[in-house]
Amino acid sequence: MTTRENDSLLARYRFACSLAESGGKLAYGFYQQRDSLRVEHKGSDAQDVVSLADREVESFVKSRIAEAFPEDGFLGEESGTSDAHQRVLWVVDPIDGTSCFLNGLHTWCLSLAVVVDGEPVIGVVYDPNHQELFHALKGEGAWLNDRRIAPHPAETVSGGVMGVGTSHRVTAADFLPFLDQLLQHGGMFVRNGSGALMSAWAAAGRLIGYYEPHMNPWDGLPGIVLMREAGGATNDYLAADGIAQGNPVLLASKTLYPQLKQWVVQPLN
């Protein structure tokens, strides 16, 4: 990568961190008025909801990216894709954990990633409730605000708590065998309703890892970058057209990843 390309990537990284905080603060304003928000269901899944806040925050983020980097593509959970063929693609979820957001829980976040030439190189997760910005740029490590982060040091799953998530896009048979093995080996788990936030927690060593049998790219990619830059291991999320189809997500320390991978039912790239 040339010096000019490095500078361009660094500019996007700094912009992504600032934008995530600005968008997250906008979302938090809606959160404080959540009882008055109009809520709709997406498709036939009663658990898959969207609010005015999701759409307004995504519109804000999308417009700011278009102003700063008009040549870049965009993929958002609510508005879909535009210019997806561009070398640089921004992938955004304005509020990951909308159900938690609407019910007054604190486990939601704004998540975004930047993919360059088919490789995720920037991952950012902002938690407005705790003013925590998890951020990573390829080759520059992973950070929580201004502190460098690393995966949990546990050598076995009994040494900490595993983050897990699931959705109605998969069946119980895709998910429960992993939980069964985790519990049989002395582990424990938590699910908070935001896969992006739990992935960030895993990269920061609060959880020993994170597993979900299917994640959309706007939720899965930020944690992939964060964990890799924190020094951990992940599957190849973008294999088999992950941008369009989604994929499983497994991330953990390099010590625990091989053990956890054995318990995943569907093949991991």
Residues across the chain: 269
Report the 10 Å Cβ neighbour count for 221. 33
- According to DSSP, the residues that pair with 89 across neighbouring strands are 73, 115
- Strand ranges in the chain using DSSP code E only, listed in sequence order: 39-41, 49-51, 73-76, 80-82, 88-96, 109-116, 119-127, 132-137, 142-144, 147-148, 161-164, 188-190, 209-215, 233-234, 247-252
- Kindly state the tokens that stand for 18: 């600032």
CA distance 143 to 204: 8
Q: Which residues of 38-53 are buried (b: 16+ CB within 10 A; e: fewer)?
A: eeeeeeeeeeeebbeb
> Cβ(204)–Cβ(144) under 8 Å?
yes
35 labeled part of a ligand binding site: no
Q: Which residues contact 62 (CB under 8 A, 6 or more apart)?
A: 74, 76, 79, 92
219 labeled part of a ligand binding site: yes
Helix, strand, or coil (residue 20): helix
Q: Which residues contact 210 (CB under 8 A, 6 or more apart)?
A: 162, 163, 164, 165, 195, 198, 199, 201, 202, 223, 249, 250, 251, 252
CA distance 196 to 18: 18
45 labeled part of a ligand binding site: no
Binding-site sequence positions for Mg(2+) = 77, 93, 95-96, 219
Binding-site sequence positions = 77, 93, 95-96, 219
